Amino acid sequence: MINVRTKDIKVAVQKKGRLRQATMQYLASKGLEFDPESPLLITNCNKTDISAVSLRDDDIPQYVGAGVADFGIVGENVFYEVPSSSRIVKKLGFAKCFLALAIKNDSEIDDVRALEGKRIVTSYPNLLTSYLNKLGVSAKIIYVRGSAEAAPALGLADAICDLVQTGKTLEENNLKILTKVMDSEAVLIESPVLKSFERNPFYDENN
């Protein structure tokens, strides 16, 4: 049983996934060491009055926006995909990747405009819609929570829009990039609900 005092800082982090380890390293660099193996969803940092709250990454902006957590570390892609009143404090320089539209290696599609009327599977429908809208392209967007790269081979999609880091997942699924949609990296976000903390490790200059 842990006791979280309301004046304490709570920072929302990814429960599992690619950002998790790098996030824990970043927090450790600020002197905030947590037990990475802890099964607890709310873990007190052993040296401070700061707690890490482990959440699904797409829930983090909403928790922070509502002030339930004071800070969060999340991919820019998630921050811009999920509506919330949280705001970006700074980019953190790790977990760099990009959101891309991709098609089968043997696809005849050779331009984004050729996606007009096509089916695109993605976990980022809002980012994709605004990207296509700017180009005046109207496509059928199909939402999935993960494994978007499987969709073309299954006959579910003509294209996908998903994150690319090393490019390995695209390659393994016989897909190639049609175009980049946006760059992304980890960002520190904060709540609009102002609280005064005795100590705030996230606002120092040298980071």
As measured in angstroms, the least distance from the Cβ of 181 to ligand PRP is 13
In terms of CB distance, is 19 or 52 closer to ligand PRP?
19
β-strand 87-91 against 97-104: which pairing, if any? unpaired
Residue with tokens 């800082």: 9
Q: Rounded to whole angstroms, how far apart are CA atoms 120 and 161?
A: 7
As measured in angstroms, the least distance from the Cβ of 159 to ligand PRP is 14
As measured in angstroms, the least distance from the Cβ of 148 to ligand PRP is 6
As measured in angstroms, the least distance from the Cβ of 19 to ligand PRP is 9
Per the CB < 8 A criterion, the answer to whether 201 and 30 are in contact is: yes
β-strand 97-104 against 175-184: which pairing, if any? antiparallel
Which residue number has the CB closest to ligand PRP?
146
In terms of CB distance, is 18 or 176 closer to ligand PRP?
18
In terms of CB distance, is 134 or 168 closer to ligand PRP?
168
In terms of CB distance, is 32 or 148 closer to ligand PRP?
148
As measured in angstroms, the least distance from the Cβ of 197 to ligand PRP is 32
β-strand 97-104 against 159-164: which pairing, if any? antiparallel
Q: Which amino acid is at 80?
A: Y
Q: Which amino acid is at 22?
A: A
Residue with tokens 């998630």: 78
Q: Rounded to whole angstroms, how far apart are CA atoms 8 and 29?
A: 19
As measured in angstroms, the least distance from the Cβ of 167 to ligand PRP is 5
Partners of 77 in the β-ladder: none
- Of 18, 16, 72, 7, the closest CA to residue 39 belongs to 16
- Of 143, 170, 150, 1, the closest CA to residue 58 belongs to 143
In terms of CB distance, is 17 or 31 closer to ligand PRP?
17
In terms of CB distance, is 125 or 167 closer to ligand PRP?
167
**Interface residue list for ligand PRP (CB under 6 A):** 17-18, 146-147, 149, 162-169
